Amino acid sequence: MANAETRINLKEDEVAVAAFLADHDGRLGRDETEQAQALYWLTLRPRSAPEQRYYARVGWDAYPHSPPSIKFADAIGGSLSVPSAWPLIPGYRPGSFDICRPLSREGYELHPEWREGPTAWPTEGNPFLWVAQTLQFHLDNEYQGRAA
């Protein structure tokens, strides 16, 4: 369960995330269960394929101090072990169910060298918004279809 600081910080920053996603025909949902108070579902779509929807589960342990776990599911609250739930984007690995980029907890665990310098996790401003904007940017600019 997330600590009080994490929950308070996320609640403040989620308003901007919801507005950003709405501007891009997406949606933000928060898992309201006590055990998952720092778990969100982002509905995203690539600009080049507006009929496609992707459901990203974003879970925070310590916000804004560390990156979230990011996984794609086949639906909001759905299975996280379906490769076809993942977009084909460089660094997004549907076979490993992770994003190998300096964006997710999984990426930083695979590449500890990213914790320093220009790839370090951004703790200033609204990191949650930065995650949503980065995911949307990747979908709009690097999207190659849906994984098989």
Please write the tens of the pLDDT for every residue from 83-108. 999 999 999 999 999 999 999 999 99
Domain that holds residue 52: 4-141
Please report whether residue 82 resides in a domain: yes
> Rg of the chain over CA atoms, in angstroms?
14
Please report whether residue 27 resides in a domain: yes
- Look up the CATH number of the domain holding residue 111: 3.10.110
Distance CA 110, CA 8 (A): 29
Phi, psi of 20 (to 5 degrees): -60, -50
Contact between 83 and 54 under an 8 Å Cβ cutoff? The reply is no
Count of C-beta atoms within a 10 Å radius of residue 68: 25
Please report whether residue 92 resides in a domain: yes
Please report whether residue 126 resides in a domain: yes
- Laid out side by side, the sheet with 39-44 consists of 27-30, 39-44, 54-59, 69-73
Please report whether residue 148 resides in a domain: no
Question: Mean pLDDT per 10-residue run, the chain (148 residues)?
Answer: 89 97 97 79 97 97 96 97 98 97 97 97 97 98 97
Please report whether residue 39 resides in a domain: yes
Number of domains in the chain: 1
